[in-house]
Structure 1
Amino acid sequence: MVIKRTTLKKMLLLFLFYMPFLRFFTANFGTLYSLARLSYPIFIIFIVLGLYFGRNEVGIWGNLTNWIKAIIFFQICFAMISFAINVYSLNQFFYGLYYHLRLPLFIILLIVFIEKTDVDKINDFIIKIVYVDAVFMTYQFLFMGLRQDFLGGIFGNTQGGNGIQNIVCCIGLSIVVSRYIYKEINLRSLLSYVLVTCYMAAIAELTIYFVEIIVVLLISFAVAKEQRISMRKVIMIFAAGMAVIVGFALLFRYFPTKARFLNIDEILRYLGADDSGVYSVSRIHGISQIKNAYLNDGVLPYFGLGLGRTLEGTPFHTMYGRINYTWFSSTLLMMESGYFGVFIRLFMLFILGTGSYRNLRETNDETKRALHLMSFLMAILSVIWFFYNSTLDDKYCVYMIAFALSVSSITKKEEGKMVK
């Protein structure tokens, strides 16, 4: 079979939802686990095909942004230094490279092979997924008695399903808010989406989603290209604010103990401002905790224990996984690649965010503004997720996040002026 460039593009688009939808079958019916294990070799095939199709044109080593090449290059360099320092299994090393580089590598593939028309279709599809998911969640909540982390809708009924929902809802939120600001949808469409997702967050106990809504609204209000305070912006803040209040009311009704988060001291304790938090490592001080406990010798604070050496399933994780360092991208990356790895990841998100913002300021096309704003919002949310959970590295979420982060560059590519 001959694989063409257009075939690779279709495969990439399908792969965006391959793992999340596969989880529906593995979680609900206990089947297709073997297909889930194929994501690793499939991704490697994508890289090989991407190199092949991009060798003689605007592609992987051609006209791509300099930052993405630098990020991958330095990540590999630091990983090799760390490997030389720690000397561990080659299998762990190569899997660690895949695990930590799949986000920037998939962003490259999407920028090179995906077009703006594909972005519009995927965005519409994501919105539809959210509404379908709300129906599934309601059934699970009312008739299956599922609650909290187990309320995963179409993403399954096992623990962690609601984390995938949070990512999908946030991507959809960035889409609808951006479209509303730039007059692509009306207030009713915006309000219906926010209400539905607030309802989903309430019954699945996704407290973080209410914070994410506030962040998205405030940032959108501040950075949208129109500097004046328009009536459209004011209405958006007011209407969405009312929806958030309704969502909080539902959350406190079904989970009364969550009312404690109205207290700032309780919020800080949950995040670990006192070096404790609700997990063994703190969200706020997790990096320093990892450094003091495991990386306090020589150059280890800068290079870590090695990519892949402390992931789930390794001997190290068997011994120390009880502190839950794999639950947060920041602490896992600190453990494996030290300060340099943490800096590279945050620098990548910074470059993605500033590039999207610059694209937003430069264009006068309303539709393209909405897409640039979408990527900018996702870059901000990704920084939050880096410290709050592990979704930036989660096999079910990483590819959808990569898509949302690459939308601005894909849109800019249509003008033939990639951000350098």
Structure 2
Amino acid sequence: MPKSNLKIKLARYEIRTDYVNLTIFMSFVLLFLAQTFNVSSTIYFLIDVPIILMIWKNLNRFLHVLMWKPIIPITLTLVVIFIFMLVGSTMNNVPLGNVVYGIYKYYRGFLFFFSTLAVVDSASESRTFSFLKGIFWINVVLTVVEFFFLGINQDLLGGVFGTIVGVNQYTNLYFVIISVYCIEKIVNRDADRKELKQVLIMSACMLAIAALAEMKYFFAEFLLLLLIAYLCLPKKLKSIFSIILIIVAIIGFYNILIYMFPEFANLVNELKRGGFVRLADLQRHYSTDYDIGRAVIFKYSNQYLLPDEKNRLIGMGVGNVTSSSIVNNSFWVKNQMTHYDQFYTSYLYNEQGIVGFILYCLLYFEIFIIGLKALLKNKTRKYGTILIMLVCGYIMIFVYNMAIYSQLCFIAFWALAVMVKKCIKDEGEERR
């Protein structure tokens, strides 16, 4: 029996929760405090406390999960990555503090993934869903206040995530997870009328906020997730009307984005003119004519940031390209104007080279395979579809920003853990 439930007493009130939900709650609260009130980022270390306690109290279950048959490929890949990190950091003479910090940042999400797999149950899952939906409506209200009453928009419009430049990367990650939930309900029509209306309204709110916050990339993510759900889930006649409503909402709110920020109207025109090749060409730079863009991370990094073939193969070493001031961040100080740390593809390639980059992508592939196997079985088809949607959404985030490596990564790993467990639960304990 997992030991994860908690009773927290506040005055005369008693709150029942668990370590999984406490971790997710703290990631939201501490992120809000740091991004809104400029509280020191050292408070983020508090998020690790419930994770450590959860693993400590459920150590046998945690170790057992690592050896589940469907999970073994992920476990082995993470072991290989760990060995590779040690070799790479030794070859690059990375300071010990940087190595420890880099490994900690890389693995904390995966530790939460495995511990969630070990202890999560239907009650814990229900609590998290309720919390995430509650946060959603709070975020809608705060976003409306920030936009209409405080005049905040574009990259500064963050709702519950604060009001600093680039804060909408957290909104993007959060919305991708909520979108997966909403789209599955819309396409699969496995919800009652009340819940269907709710997910339709939530989808419209996300698209509206994406327009106000200039999150143009979210429209592409939402469309991709909708397409995956439509291709993988059973076709139901009664879902057609809801799908049409969503497509109308996508078109409508994207046009609102273009109306508010006309400079982005050219994106559609360029796409029509030159296709994705032209669109990629526009991503050669991030924000200036001298920094690195999403489409040229390998070419630019090889030319300006990675001095020789060794570094292109194994990177600069784990923890050696961090911007954190608690360790040696001289690489970042020297190269910060290139903005290599604005999206995880670039950050990871500079840190761990092509070998580390491929190994990280392999982890997604292994989780994708779990989803694909579940998709081919009628009993787990829905869960397999959701897991595939999550993986594809995270890959798009991996390319676009740093959210998957941020303090909000725990909701991403929670969603993966819940769906992986649902996908493999019918395989039986004896096969694990």
TM-score bin (small chain): 0.7 to 0.9
- Quick one: which amino acid aligns to residue 138 of structure 1? V
Distance 1:291 1:42, change over 3 A: farther
Deviates more, 1:205-214 or 1:181-190: 181-190
Unaligned ranges ≥5, structure 1? none
Measured in 1, the distance between the counterparts of 2:50 and 2:188 equals 38
TM-score for both structures, normalised by structure 1: 0.88
Measured in 2, the distance between the counterparts of 1:262 and 1:37 equals 42
Distance 1:404 1:62, change over 3 A: closer
Matching residue of 2:400: 388
| Superposed CA RMSD | 2.8
Deviates more, 1:335-344 or 1:120-129: 120-129
Distance 1:411 1:338, change over 3 A: same
Matching residue of 2:125: 119
Measured in 2, the distance between the counterparts of 1:311 and 1:142 equals 37
Matches within 5 A, 1:192-231: 192-224=201-233, 226=234, 229-231=235-237
Distance 1:350 1:41, change over 3 A: same
Distance 1:134 1:414, change over 3 A: same
Deviates more, 1:341-350 or 1:39-48: 39-48
Per-residue deviation at 1:102? 2.4
In the alignment of these two chains, the number of paired residues is 409
Matches within 5 A, 1:77-96: 77-96=83-102
What's the % identity of the aligned pairs? 19
Measured in 2, the distance between the counterparts of 1:28 and 1:340 equals 37
- Quick one: which amino acid aligns to residue 223 of structure 1? C
Distance 1:233 1:67, change over 3 A: farther
Distance 1:274 1:242, change over 3 A: closer
Matches within 5 A, 1:7-406: 7=6, 10-31=18-39, 35-39=43-47, 43=51, 46-51=54-59, 54-55=62-63, 58-61=64-67, 65-185=71-191, 186=193, 187-224=196-233, 226=234, 229-263=235-269, 264=271, 271-272=280-281, 275-276=284-285, 278=287, 280-295=291-306, 297-313=308-324, 314-364=329-379, 369-395=381-407, 397-406=408-417
Matching residue of 2:421: 410
Measured in 2, the distance between the counterparts of 1:42 and 1:32 equals 20
- Quick one: which amino acid aligns to residue 347 of structure 1? L
Distance 1:385 1:250, change over 3 A: same
- Quick one: which amino acid aligns to residue 376 of structure 1? I
Distance 1:143 1:373, change over 3 A: same
Secondary structure in 2 matching 1:312:
coil
Per-residue deviation at 1:335? 0.7
Secondary structure in 1 matching 2:140:
helix
Per-residue deviation at 1:349? 0.9
The superposition leaves residues 109-153 of structure 1 with CA deviations (integer Å, 9 ceiling, x where unpaired) of: 111111244224423432332222111100111111111111111
Measured in 2, the distance between the counterparts of 1:63 and 1:109 equals 16
Is the 8 Å Cα contact of residues 376 and 405 (structure 1) preserved in structure 2?
no
Measured in 1, the distance between the counterparts of 2:180 and 2:166 equals 22
Distance 1:294 1:276, change over 3 A: same
Deviates more, 1:271-280 or 1:100-109: 271-280
Aligned pair 1:6/2:5, yes or no? yes
Is the 8 Å Cα contact of residues 20 and 164 (structure 1) preserved in structure 2?
no
Is the 8 Å Cα contact of residues 310 and 335 (structure 1) preserved in structure 2?
yes
Per-residue deviation at 1:48? 4.7
Distance 1:235 1:351, change over 3 A: farther
Measured in 1, the distance between the counterparts of 2:322 and 2:363 equals 22
The superposition leaves residues 248-273 of structure 1 with CA deviations (integer Å, 9 ceiling, x where unpaired) of: 12212322222222121597666446
Distance 1:232 1:278, change over 3 A: farther
The superposition leaves residues 176-211 of structure 1 with CA deviations (integer Å, 9 ceiling, x where unpaired) of: 111233333245333212211111111111111111
